[in-house]
Amino acid sequence: MFGEFPKLPTRDDVATPAPGRRRPAGWLSRVLMGLAVIVLVVAAGALALALLFARGDPVLSRRVVTFISTSIGSDSTRLECDRIHGSVFGGAVLERPRLVVLTPGGPVTWLSAKRLRAEYETFEVLFSRRRTLRITIDSPVLPLVHDRRGNLVVPRFRGSKRNSLDRTATRIDIAVHDGTVSLDRGGVRFGRITGNAVALLEPNKTSVRVSRISGVSLMPGRPASIRADGVATVSGGRLRFDPLYIALAHSCVRSAIDWDLEHARVVSSRPGSALSMSGR
């Protein structure tokens, strides 16, 4: 008489979601999307930087030179160059690099070169504690001159302080081709200078071994050859050559010198002693 009551749903009648098909949380998708955007922006920036570096962009070149100059130079010494180009993953080329010293009479180019090439492994430089760089200097010119006060013009270098926790070591192999050295007094001039050096930059000091730097006289009527080699250490803002061998024609002299890099002056020196060429 009263009809039938509607049947209430039981637990078995309620549909349950299939296992393993839960929708991801909204915040997770947003985080993944943000990370993807960041990666794309970084990749685009790195690509743009690599393209500018390969083309030798003037603005980028000036910024790189300014960074290097402020890192190693001082108020009276700066680095200049026409252009820097190369590959982020292979090496860099500095066109016409110049080390300029400011004097009371104006700026003086202390050292210049046609080209400086630096080769390196980017991942090794960034992530390894043992790094190796190869630097080739083409046609360097070192004109030693005096300023208007009669002082020899020399560069000054700012001492750098490394982090006490830094344990990296960098080896730099340096090759010099077709260099020239001259002095503004006495008409002294040597050319066709070639040689090699190896520098090891460690946390506490830097050591340099100069191997058979040699050249010939460009002075009319004064034929001669010159050779030099030795070992130098840089520590505490001082450069100390000991020993330093200099051979001119058939004579050879061994000496030592302690040079203050920041104040550009001799701290101490040991007079050279003559050696026979056969003794070397």
Cα separation values, 128 from 19, 81, 123, 124, 132, Å: 48, 29, 7, 5, 10
Residue where the block lists tokens 């637990």? 11
CA distance 233 to 170: 15
CA distance 274 to 280: 11
The pLDDT, as a whole number, for residue 156 is 80
Strands (E), 35-82: 77-80
CA distance 111 to 77: 11
Three-class secondary structure of residue 81 per DSSP: coil
**What's the pTM value of the predicted model, to 2 decimals?**
0.72
The pLDDT, as a whole number, for residue 1 is 46
Strand partners, 152: 146
CA distance 202 to 167: 8
Q: E strand or H helix at 242, and its extent?
A: strand 238-248
Side chain identity at residue 171, one-letter code:
R
Confirm if 273 and 253 have CB atoms less than 8 A apart: yes
End-to-end Cα, the chain, rounded Å: 130
CA distance 278 to 280: 5
DSSP state of 92: E
DSSP state of 278: G
The pLDDT, as a whole number, for residue 112 is 94
Per-residue pLDDT of the chain (280 residues; tens, 9 = 90+): 455 555 555 555 555 555 555 555 566 776 777 777 676 666 665 555 555 556 666 666 667 667 666 666 566 788 888 888 877 677 788 899 998 888 888 888 999 999 998 887 877 777 778 888 898 999 999 999 988 888 888 888 765 555 556 678 888 899 999 999 999 888 889 999 999 999 888 877 889 899 889 999 999 888 888 899 999 988 878 888 888 888 887 788 888 888 888 777 888 877 666 555 444 5
The pLDDT, as a whole number, for residue 202 is 82
Side chain identity at residue 258, one-letter code:
D
